[in-house]
Amino acid sequence: NEEVTKYFWRKEGGYKNRMMTNRLQQRNQEGKFNLKDVKYGFCLTDDGQMKADPNTAPVVQEIFRSFAEGKSPVEIAYSLQEQKIPVPSVARGEKRNLPDPYHWGRKTISSILKNPVYTGCWTRTIKGQSLTFHIEPLIELELFENAKSRMKSDPKKSCPKNRNSPYVGLLYDEQYGFCTHRCKAVDDRVYYSYAIGMEDGKRKPRLYETDLENAVRACLKQEQRKAEKILNRI
């Protein structure tokens, strides 16, 4: 009985998800938006249309205007943090218990600068059909194109890459952030330093290359043994 109940519970859940997805796509095909479609800077009207949100639309315009003036996404994020402007997820009411509701990131700013919806013309693919939605623009098309071209040519990255190492900019620690530099210690041992240092004036933690490569080799050997077992079964 328990197995049968779980089976039909899963089937029912899948059926409801498919029905909900079809219903949302049907609304899109009718030229209406859903709550999940609404981007930061807009709000949803009663008839399923997106219009400028008086609270967040000025923030989007400030982001594009600051970027046009030469500020980087990181600098814009810091500016919004200082102004105590809630991040998009908090502004939409999705996340209410964030430790820092004003912590804007570079990726969030970049995603806004790359999104063509703010020009008033948004093209989406629904069930294999390309649909174009015309909504109230928040910025001019020329401003968006300039931002788009600059984003492609902007050399600044949050995780700098080192041609001499495949690890720089890829390794991430939840406490210390990304490994951003490959350095050599006094004893000639190579190590990686993190983007964020330790508190109380202590030096940044070091991840030595030999320890890292030994860990990587051990993982690869373990995966190789798994693959060999699978191959033998096949």
Report DSSP letters for 55-104, one per residue: TTHHHHHHHHHHHHTT--HHHHHHHHHHTTPPPHHHHTTS-S--S-TT--
Burial of 23 (0-12, 13-18, 19+ CB in 10 A): exposed
Q: Which of 57-71, 78-92, 165-179, 209-223 has the lowest mean pLDDT?
A: 165-179
Burial of 220 (0-12, 13-18, 19+ CB in 10 A): exposed
Please tell me the distance from the alpha carbon of residue 183 to that of residue 193, in angstroms, as a whole number: 7
Q: Name 177's bridge partners.
A: 173
* pTM passes above 0.75: no
Q: How far is CA 198 from CA 31, 179, 188, 193, 204, in A?
A: 52, 14, 23, 11, 6
* Tokens representing residue 89 in the block: 């997820």
User: Is residue 194 within 8 Å of residue 180, measured between CB atoms?
Assistant: yes
| Phi, psi dihedrals of residue 210, rounded to the nearest 5° | -65, -45
Please tell me the distance from the alpha carbon of residue 198 to that of residue 205, in angstroms, as a whole number: 7
Which of 6-20, 75-89, 90-104, 173-187 is predicted most confidently? 75-89
Please tell me the distance from the alpha carbon of residue 216 to that of residue 171, in angstroms, as a whole number: 12
Other C-beta atoms lying within 10 Å of the C-beta of residue 33: 21
Sequence-distant (≥ 6) Cβ neighbours of residue 141 within 8 angstroms = 119
Residue-level pLDDT at 225: 94
Residue 35 has pLDDT above 60, yes or no: yes
Residue-level pLDDT at 16: 84
* Tokens representing residue 212 in the block: 């890292």
Residue 14 has pLDDT above 90, yes or no: no
60 or 166: whose pLDDT is higher? 60
Across 11-38, average pLDDT:
80
pLDDT in tens, 78-116: 899 899 999 888 887 776 677 788 888 888 998 899 888
pLDDT in tens, 117-157: 899 888 877 777 777 888 889 999 888 888 888 776 654 44
The alpha helices in the chain, defined as continuous H runs, are: 2-29, 57-68, 73-82, 88-91, 106-114, 141-153, 209-233
Across 180-209, average pLDDT:
72
Residue 176 has pLDDT above 80, yes or no: no
Residue-level pLDDT at 64: 92
Query: Residue 197 — very low, low, confident or very high, per pLDDT cuts 50/70/90?
Result: low
